[in-house]
Amino acid sequence: MGFFVVLLFFFLFDWYVFSAIRTLTSGWESSWWRLGVHASFWTMHVVLIVLMMWGFDQMQKTHKMGAWGVMAGNAWITVMITQLVFLLIVMGGDLVRLAEGAVHWMRADAQAGHFIPERRKFLVQMAALTASIPFAGFVYGILKGKYDYTVHRHFLKFKDLPEAFHGFKIVQVSDVHAGSFDDFEAVKRGVEMIKAEKGDLFVFTGDLVNNEAAEFEPWQELFGSIKAPYGQFSVLGNHDYGDYMPWPDAELKRQNLETLKQMQARAGYRLLLDEHADIEKDGARIQLIGIQNWGHGFSQYGDFEKALSNVAPDSFKILLSHDPSHFEYQVKDHPQLVHLTLSGHTHGMQMGIEIPGFKWSPIKYRYPRWAGVYEANGRMLNVNRGFGFLGFRGRVGIWPEITVIELQRAV
């Protein structure tokens, strides 16, 4: 029943868009062209629905979305967002016209109900032109944007940063989701960008895979080539535990996680599991804390108190925690001061708008702190937009991120 309700909703949605397309094509001299456009509209939607259903059926059987399912999903999201922009503009015009008609009717105006087809046709043309912008954006995001790696630089000042760490450079990457990659050369280019930053410390903040450790195997050597003088450290994200697919038994699931841990070790990453590591430089030190995934509304494997045990109360602390909601619920108000938290998880929803002085993504309504640097109670949080992608196989406006943070001692 739920499926048919959703299907009915999308049919009504499509029918409203189709009515506007009929307005757009009403002046065409060739009836064959009109028929071709109308038939193509409905054929496209039927094919997309069939492919989506087939793709989800395959995913239930194999726990992986096949190539056709991925293509159908990308196409469906592109069409739906394009149609939504188109519909909102047309509907806005129709509502204005309806309001005008209601006013004329209440006034018993002779013009009540008067309809100007040319005006609606012009509105539909403007809607089509406007909707072409997100359409082009999604096409680019699917073909190129998902590998359009962008470096975000932050210079963060702390009064109690040890002098020896002034200018210390941390390179952060998060949410690789290796099982989604489909272009080795593009990913290699991103890894080369990471290495070119020559960070003092490299950190990875979770979700190395989508579900299975085997997804990382083709990429282990490439990501293992990332080196930093003060080490490479990582933590687990919610997808790394294999919670989003069924396992024949608990032992296979446990083995999958152990294999992923071993792969990270072979790649040269020290995985921090509710523990800390001392980073020493010129006789001074900072303490790097890593917690297993802890997320509001997601798995909560991490033990923050355990991670803080044996940590010096007066030391400068950096926390690796995959989900930024952990900062909100446990870190920012904790009696033990953690100066900087590095997270990921949100992906910036892989779509949104970022221009100088303004950024927006629908994910902000789930995660108020969803991308970039935030401060609360004298503590800082950086949320990485993610290196990879999941679900929607593209990125629109929110590009894959390599974070470079330079620690500075405030005067």
- pLDDT attached to residue 65: 65
For residue 149, pLDDT over 70 is answered with yes
Distance, CA of 72 to CA of 25 (rounded, Å): 27
Q: Residue 350 in contact with residue 147, Cβ under 8 Å?
A: no
Instruction: Please state, in angstroms and as integers, the Cα–Cα distance from residue 271 to each residue in 147, 220, 286, 351, 380, following that order.
Output: 26, 15, 17, 30, 22
H or E, element range at 169? strand 169-173
The CATH architecture that domain 151-409 belongs to is 4-Layer Sandwich (3.60)
> Of residues 68 and 134, which shows the higher confidence score?
134
Distance, CA of 58 to CA of 64 (rounded, Å): 7
Chain Cα centroid distance, residue 126: 30
For residue 60, pLDDT over 70 is answered with no
| Per-residue confidence band for 232, with pLDDT thresholds at 50, 70 and 90 | very high
Mean of pLDDT over the chain: 91
Q: Residue 324 in contact with residue 342, Cβ under 8 Å?
A: no
- pLDDT attached to residue 289: 98
- For the segment 5-33, what is each residue's pLDDT rounded down to a tens digit? 877 888 888 888 888 888 888 878 788 88
- For the segment 372-396, what is each residue's pLDDT rounded down to a tens digit? 999 999 999 999 999 999 989 999 9
Distance, CA of 366 to CA of 374 (rounded, Å): 16
Strand order in the sheet with 372-376: 275-281, 284-290, 317-320, 340-343, 379-383, 372-376
Domain ranges of the chain: 2-143, 151-409
| Per-residue confidence band for 158, with pLDDT thresholds at 50, 70 and 90 | very high
| Per-residue confidence band for 287, with pLDDT thresholds at 50, 70 and 90 | very high
- pLDDT attached to residue 99: 76
- pLDDT attached to residue 229: 98
- pLDDT attached to residue 14: 86
Q: Over range 262-282, report the average pLDDT.
A: 97
- pLDDT attached to residue 1: 72
Q: Over range 240-267, report the average pLDDT.
A: 96
For residue 226, pLDDT over 90 is answered with yes
- pLDDT attached to residue 63: 64
